[in-house]
């Protein structure tokens, strides 16, 4: 999340082999959201099927 012009990590997922992941964190007021995918199970590609952000 971009908070006060600085990126803040609010959730991290590693070694995931499940089809769905839910991350819950303390509410943050932000102007932008960034997702970084560092690797995938098959090392070929990563994908996000659905992303929900609530205000």
Tell me the pLDDT of the chain (55 aa) as tens digits: 888 899 998 888 888 877 788 888 888 888 889 988 888 778 888 888 888 888 7
| The CA-based dihedral angle spanning residues 53, 8, 35, 29, taken in that order and rounded to the nearest 10 degrees | 20
In this prediction, residue 46 carries a pLDDT of 81
In this prediction, residue 7 carries a pLDDT of 93
In this prediction, residue 55 carries a pLDDT of 72
Q: What is the DSSP letter of 3?
A: E
Say which residues have a Cβ less than 8 Å from residue 25's Cβ, sequence separation at least 6.
Answer: 10, 11
In this prediction, residue 51 carries a pLDDT of 85
Instruction: Round to whole Å and give the CA distance between 28 and 8.
Output: 10
User: Total domain count for the chain?
Assistant: 1
Host domain of residue 1: 1-55
């Amino acid at each position: 999340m971009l908070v006060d012009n600085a990126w803040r990590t609010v959730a991290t997922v590693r070694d995931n082999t499940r089809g769905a992941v839910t991350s819950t964190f303390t509410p943050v007021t932000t102007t932008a959201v960034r997702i970084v995918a560092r690797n995938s199970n098959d090392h070929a590609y990563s994908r996000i099927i659905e992303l929900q952000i609530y205000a």
